[in-house]
Chain A
């Protein structure tokens, strides 16, 4: 009885540790804490989605992973990272960032390739706060891609 109690206690201690030690999905771990804080997402909650990209005449079915960061309170800004495996060997391309706005919403997207994955990072925020956040994303994206490629 005492052993049973000990085992239950031990397991209840180990489970949270195991959960903490489990690696974060690749799409979420690409963005470091410092970058999240700089994008006003220091307290962000994350949502991971797996999307099936249907096969086309030129490409087989693929599986993309999307990690979306949103603030714990409110909904803006939001940042999403999509990873899409690319089949070619040694695929490389220069990172590119674009920005735009539709009415009151600012949108920025950065594209790059890291470790054979197409990486797309997109920021959406109200136009009032957009300029600063966009500058931060642009300044950090190339470094994120380089560190992702090195992992």
Chain B
């Protein structure tokens, strides 16, 4: 690369060292944030699961056809589990973004 060939060796070495320090610091911060963000996201996902379960159960109970109501109620756990996983991902990403950017 021409750009690098023009840069004095000292500047290049300094830039490399700074980049290494920054990435090491980021990796350390990431590792520090990880357990609390996992815990935080799990707590949010658990609360979300309860909320999704209540909401879909209420809707299923509003169906007048007995067979449809039973089928709908049987699907509630699968739905709540699926959604709580989506919430976990969102909560975890938001927490890590906030935590590592400080």
- Closest chain-A Cβ to B55's Cβ sits at a distance in Å of 5
Q: Which of B84-102 contact A (CB under 8 A)?
A: 86-87, 89-91, 93-95
Task: Check if B89 sits within 8 Å of A87, measured CB to CB.
Answer: no
> Considering only CB atoms and an 8 Å cut-off, how many residues of chain A contact the other chain?
45
Within 8 Å of chain B (Cβ to Cβ): is A59? yes
1/0 per position for A115-128, CB-CB distance to B under 8 A?
A: 00010101011100
Contact call B55/A102, Cβ cutoff below 8 A: no
Say yes or no for A107: interface residue by CB 8 A criterion: yes
B89 near A109 (CB under 8 angstroms)? no
B24: A residues at CB distance < 8 A: none
Residues of A with C-beta under 8 A to B62: 93-94, 96
Which residues from 59 to 86 on chain B have a C-beta closer than 8 Å to any C-beta of chain A?
59-60, 62-68, 70-75, 78-79, 82-83, 86
Query: Does A64 lie at the interface of the complex (its beta carbon under 8 Å from any beta carbon of B)?
Result: yes
Question: Do residues A84 and B75 form an inter-chain contact, with CB atoms below 8 A?
Answer: yes
A105-B91, A124-B90 known; A53-B63 Cβ under 8 A: no
Is A134 among interface residues, defined by CB-CB distance under 8 A? no
Q: Which residues of B contact A54 (CB under 8 A)?
A: 74
**Contact of A46 with B by CB under 8 A:** no
Asked whether B52 lies within 8 Å of A109 as measured between CB atoms, the reply is yes
**Are B94 and A104 within 8 A (Cβ)?**
yes
Q: Which residues of A contact B (CB under 8 A)?
A: 49, 51, 53-56, 58-59, 62, 64, 66, 68, 74-78, 80, 82, 84-89, 91, 93-94, 96, 98, 100, 102-105, 107, 109, 111, 113, 118, 120, 122, 124-126
Q: List 15 A-B contacts (CB under 8 A).
A: A49-B82, A76-B93, A77-B90, A78-B89, A80-B83, A82-B79, A87-B67, A88-B68, A102-B51, A105-B94, A118-B60, A118-B71, A118-B72, A124-B86, A126-B94
